[in-house]
Amino acid sequence: MFPWTLAVLCVLCAVTSASEKCTVPADQRSLVTKLQSTMESYIVPQSPPNPSILIALNLAGAQDSKTEKLLVAQIKERIIKEGTATMTSGEVALYVLALLSSCEDPKHVTAHISLVEVLKLKTEEELIHLSSHGKPYTTFYQLGLDTLALCLEGVDVNDAAVSLAKMALAKDFSMDTGAMATLALTCVHNRLVKAKQSRILAAVQEALNTLHQQILRAVETNTVNIYSLGLALQALSVTSTSYPSGEWSCSQTLTKVFNEISQGTFNNPMAAAQILPSLVGKTYLNVNRLGCFPDKITVEYTIINYLRGQHFMYTIFVTVPKGSVLLAVLQAADQANPQYFSYKTEQTSWGLMIVSINYCAANANDKTYWKFYNGTKPLDQGVESYIPANNEHIMAEFSKY
Ligand SMILES: *[C@@H]1O[C@H](CO)[C@@H](O)[C@H](O)[C@H]1NC(C)=O
């Protein structure tokens, strides 16, 4: 029934206005699924990490969670092994969006790598270069991507937004740049409205209006490169409700896209990744709202003392925000059941130490201490640095050294 509703809507949108959702009619749906499968088939363990494909996959609804997991693993491995120093700001931004789309926290790729912090610095460099040279260190397209990713992560990007808005009014952006700037400025616009901030709102709105008109004109007159059409459609879909236009026919544009798909134009996985989101009515603004569980993880926590005094073993399952350090698990357990899971800490030159759990205290003369495990593996980090993963089993065993 759902696809029928869409089909009816799209007939209407052809005769009335572009403000209706512009998505695929029911009888063409299989073409989209096929395109997605083709794209997924390119992902193999040896392939280089591809954040664009991961984003497209998640926006379209991953058909195969193995492919999604593989892509996430490839992305993380690249970041950890090669670092972020040689990556451009836009690459980092794409990685942030890709991780977000898979419900991963880009602030904690590892305990020590926050891609969001890296992106803040690289965006700052872009802006400094822009103010001294009149152009960003890389490109306006990348600055748009940076602004979008940071905005979705809740970072204040007003400076970048003002720069983008000014440039959008001063010069003609290419289609891709204009569309990316539209997505970024829409994110900022929505946040400003929500926070009841008006200082830069007018400038952002004016830029969005101008960009929308430019993109619309290009799509109407068929002057958009076929590979830029996906992003153009995303941009139009986020601005068409606030800036309605009676001219553009979404169904005509889609018909053109379908002809191209059946001719194999989008068989290249990157080309497919560019067009897929718009075909299912999604945009890069949606990567943050893909129905991730509200950022919580569950950890099984067991405390054991078979060494001294009254022996005990207790287990509890606690839920903590994703990215929390182990100490948060101890706190949650204490809060849920203080009778067994109370603990004491001491600040030492090694960092915070757990000196007592369930009234069983470490003792230097006796050479006893609380040893922590992830499953059966001893932890090599303290409770303030170690970040447990979802469904992990953390064990604390009273031990001797
Ligand atoms: C904990 O151990 C499991 C199984 O060995 C491993 O997959 C996981 O990455 C470990 N967790 C952390 C945060 O290192």
At 301-335, the pLDDT tens digits run 999 999 999 999 888 888 898 899 999 999 999 98
Which numbered atom of ligand 1 lies nearest the CA of 386? 13
CB-CB contact of 298 with 319 (8 Å): yes
pLDDT at 362 over 60: yes
pLDDT exceeding 70 applies to what percent of the chain? 90
282 with 300, same domain: the answer is no
For residue 170, give the CATH number of its domain.
1.50.10.20
Domain limit, last residue, from 240, 264, 286: 286
Asked, for residue 14, whether it belongs to a domain, the answer is: yes
Write out the residue range of the structural domain in which residue 150 sits.
4-286
Query: Tokens 């896209």 correspond to what residue?
Result: 257
pLDDT at 349 over 90: no
For residue 396, give the CATH number of its domain.
2.170.130.30
238 with 349, same domain: the answer is no
pTM above 0.75, yes or no: no
- What pLDDT score does 292 carry? 67
Asked, for residue 208, whether it belongs to a domain, the answer is: yes
SS3 of residue 396 by DSSP: strand
278 with 341, same domain: the answer is no
Ligand 1: residues whose CB is within 6 Å? 374-375, 377, 387-389, 392
Residues 6+ apart with CB under 8 A from 83: none
- Using CA positions, which residue lies closest to atom 9 of ligand 1? 389
CA gyration radius, the chain: 26
How many domains is the chain built from? Answer: 2
What is the side-by-side strand order in the sheet with 343-348? Answer: 343-348, 351-357, 360-361
Model confidence at 234, pLDDT cuts 50, 70, 90, reads very high
Name the residue of 76, 109, 112, 392 whose CB sits within 8 Å of the most ligand 1 atoms, as the mutation to test its pocket. Answer: 392
* Distance between CA atoms of residues 326 and 328, nearest Å: 5
By CB atoms closer than 10 A (0-12, 13-18, 19+), residue 88 is middle
Domain limit, last residue, from 253, 286, 319: 286
Name the residue of 297, 329, 374 whose CB sits within 8 Å of the most ligand 1 atoms, as the mutation to test its pocket. Answer: 374
- What pLDDT score does 8 carry? 34
Which numbered atom of ligand 1 lies nearest the CA of 375? 2
pLDDT tens, position by position, 77-90: 999 999 999 999 99
Asked, for residue 28, whether it belongs to a domain, the answer is: yes
Asked, for residue 16, whether it belongs to a domain, the answer is: yes
Residues 22, 274, 107, 204: is their CA dihedral positive or negative?
negative
Domain limit, last residue, from 241, 259, 286: 286
235 with 355, same domain: the answer is no
* Residue 270 alpha carbon to ligand 1 centre in Å: 32
Mean pLDDT of 112-116: 94
* Residue 67 alpha carbon to ligand 1 centre in Å: 20
Closest among 391, 354, 395, 398 to 375, alpha carbons compared: 395
* Residue 305 alpha carbon to ligand 1 centre in Å: 23
Model confidence at 237, pLDDT cuts 50, 70, 90, reads confident
pLDDT tens, position by position, 116-163: 999 999 999 999 999 999 999 999 999 999 999 999 999 999 999 999
User: Does the annotation flag 138 for ligand binding?
Assistant: yes
Q: Determine phi and psi for 247, rounding to 5 degrees.
A: -90, -45
Asked, for residue 220, whether it belongs to a domain, the answer is: yes
Asked, for residue 266, whether it belongs to a domain, the answer is: yes
Model confidence at 289, pLDDT cuts 50, 70, 90, reads low
* Residue 83 alpha carbon to ligand 1 centre in Å: 21
305 with 337, same domain: the answer is yes
65 with 148, same domain: the answer is yes
User: Does the annotation flag 142 for ligand binding?
Assistant: yes
322 with 250, same domain: the answer is no
- Using CA positions, which residue lies closest to atom 1 of ligand 1? 374
87 with 212, same domain: the answer is yes
pLDDT at 169 over 90: yes
Strands 351-357 and 368-374: unpaired
* Distance between CA atoms of residues 139 and 97, nearest Å: 18
pLDDT at 194 over 80: no
Asked, for residue 291, whether it belongs to a domain, the answer is: no
205 with 302, same domain: the answer is no
CB neighbour burial string for 160-178, b if at least 16 within 10 angstroms, e if fewer: bbbbbbebbeeeebebbbb
pLDDT at 7 over 90: no
pLDDT tens, position by position, 10-49: 333 333 333 345 667 777 788 889 999 999 999 989 889 9
* Distance between CA atoms of residues 94 and 89, nearest Å: 9
Tokens of 196: 């009841």
Helices (H), 2-50: 2-15, 29-41
Mean pLDDT of 205-222: 91
107 with 215, same domain: the answer is yes
Asked, for residue 95, whether it belongs to a domain, the answer is: yes
Lowest-confidence pick of 159-163, 231-235, 281-285, 290-294: 290-294
CB-CB contact of 154 with 117 (8 Å): no
383 with 304, same domain: the answer is yes
133 with 235, same domain: the answer is yes
Closest among 55, 53, 24 to 39, alpha carbons compared: 53
